[in-house]
């Protein structure tokens, strides 16, 4: 689900295409031909639903609904092995195991569609990875900064087009998140060590995060990512059956400025979602659903969140009573 002011796009990635449906306009489903299978990177779609950007192993590629290439920005290879080949065609590495199981970067549009933020593997030899700000109209790189990270990434868009979050999974408890700001000329980035960004409040004033160990839930301020308050899982919720400790989930929803919906991890077969008051970082109680749900609570915009069915074929939208 890609959400922002004025748009909610349901995006489903297949091996040969990406299907997009606008949940607010009730228009026809749009399909973008994919340049490579889904295991070779990630994808994002513009707020208008007219451009898809594929963040692949060797390149960022923007395509229109007919599959025509609008632009391409090549970068270093995400494979863990030394790859000196430029690989201009997917068929050159389609059967290579190191490419298939490589780390991946990411891309995300600003909510107004005027900027594209992309995390790529550098080919300069100076920094292993870079965070780019591009003009999505033609792929021009407007700003770049070395991230000092090594790992796959997941973006966290912000209602203000000047801001973007990025979580990088480095495989240990020191894995950082990055909080970026583009002022029109310069890209500045603040490193948030031991943080996993989960959600942004509708107003954009606050961020919700946890740590790689999932021990605490943190409320951060937008301007610089500084922590305002925290909620320890062990102090708020009982551990799941068969475990000694409760841990927060790696995903959450922030449907209202005064309400967040956060799951606890490792709840096998019976996910527990909790209503959290961000103002005090206290628990209001457990969310009661009319039927069993599966997986995490994820933001769906307009005061809602969503869950998916166990077989991944159905999506359910939820909102708080009276809101």
Report CA 304 to chain centroid distance, whole Å: 17
* Contact present, 126 and 76 (Cβ < 8 Å): no
Helix locations, 42-166, DSSP H: 97-100
Under the banding of pLDDT at 50, 70 and 90, the label for residue 27 is: confident
pLDDT digits (tens, 9 = 90+) for 62-86: 999 999 999 999 999 998 776 777 7
Say if 1-194 and 195-323 have the same CATH topology. yes
| Reduced DSSP (H G I as helix, E B as strand, rest coil) percent helix, strand, coil of the chain, to 5 | 5, 45, 50
Percent above pLDDT 90 for the chain: 76
Report CA 151 to chain centroid distance, whole Å: 14
Taking Cα atoms as reference points, which of 192, 198, 154 lies closest to residue 175? Answer: 192
* Arithmetic mean of pLDDT, 127-155: 95
CA distances from 222 to 13, 205, 219 (A): 31, 5, 10
* Arithmetic mean of pLDDT, 154-163: 96
Looking at residue 173, its pLDDT comes to 78
Looking at residue 304, its pLDDT comes to 97
* Arithmetic mean of pLDDT, 132-154: 96
Under the banding of pLDDT at 50, 70 and 90, the label for residue 144 is: very high
Instruction: Look up the CATH superfamily of 1-194.
Output: YVTN repeat-like/Quinoprotein amine dehydrogenase (2.130.10.10)
Looking at residue 156, its pLDDT comes to 97
On average, the pLDDT of the chain sits at 92
82 contacts: CB under 8 Å, gap ≥ 6: none
Looking at residue 94, its pLDDT comes to 85
CATH number of 195-323: 2.130.10.10
Looking at residue 80, its pLDDT comes to 73
What does the domain layout of the chain look like in residue ranges? 1-194, 195-323
pLDDT digits (tens, 9 = 90+) for 265-309: 776 678 899 999 999 999 999 999 999 899 999 999 999 999 999
How buried is 70 (Cβ within 10 angstroms: 0-12 exposed, 13-18 middle, 19+ buried)? middle
pLDDT digits (tens, 9 = 90+) for 164-177: 999 999 887 789 99
pLDDT digits (tens, 9 = 90+) for 239-251: 887 788 899 999 9
Is 116 a residue whose pLDDT tops 90?
yes
> How far apart are the C-alpha atoms of 11 and 250, rounded to whole Å?
20
């Amino acid at each position: 689900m890609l959400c922002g002011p004025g748009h909610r796009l349901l995006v489903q990635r297949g091996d040969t295409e990406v299907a997009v449906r606008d949940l607010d306009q009730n228009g026809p489903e749009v399909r973008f031909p994919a340049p490579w299978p889904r295991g070779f990177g990630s994808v994002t779609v513009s707020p208008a639903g007219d451009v898809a950007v594929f963040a692949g192993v060797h390149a960022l590629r923007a395509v229109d609904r007919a599959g025509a290439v609008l632009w391409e920005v090549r970068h270093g290879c995400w494979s863990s092995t030394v790859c000196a080949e430029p690989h201009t065609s997917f068929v050159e590495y389609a059967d290579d195991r190191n490419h298939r199981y490589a780390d991946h970067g990411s891309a995300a549009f600003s909510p107004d569609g005027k900027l594209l933020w992309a995390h790529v593997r550098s080919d300069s030899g100076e920094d292993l990875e870079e965070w780019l700000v591009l003009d999505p109209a033609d792929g021009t790189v407007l700003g770049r900064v070395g991230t000092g990270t090594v790992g796959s990434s997941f973006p966290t868009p912000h209602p203000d087009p000047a801001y973007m979050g990025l979580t990088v999974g480095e495989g240990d408890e020191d894995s950082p998140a990055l909080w970026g700001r583009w002022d029109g000329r310069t890209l500045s980035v603040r490193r948030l060590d031991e943080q996993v960004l989960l959600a942004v409040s509708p107003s954009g004033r606050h961020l919700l995060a946890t740590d790689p160990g999932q021990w605490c839930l943190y409320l951060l301020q937008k301007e610089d990512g500084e922590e305002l308050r925290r909620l320890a899982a062990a102090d708020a919720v009982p551990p799941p059956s068969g475990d000694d400790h409760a841990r927060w989930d790696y995903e959450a929803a922030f449907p209202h400025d005064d309400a967040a919906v956060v799951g606890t991890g490792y709840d096998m077969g019976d996910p527990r979602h909790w209503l959290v008051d961000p103002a005090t970082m206290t628990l209001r109680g457990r969310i009661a659903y009319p039927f069993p749900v599966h997986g995490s609570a994820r933001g769906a915009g307009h005061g809602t969140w969503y869950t998916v069915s166990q077989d991944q074929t159905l999506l359910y939208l939820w909102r708080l009573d009276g809101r």
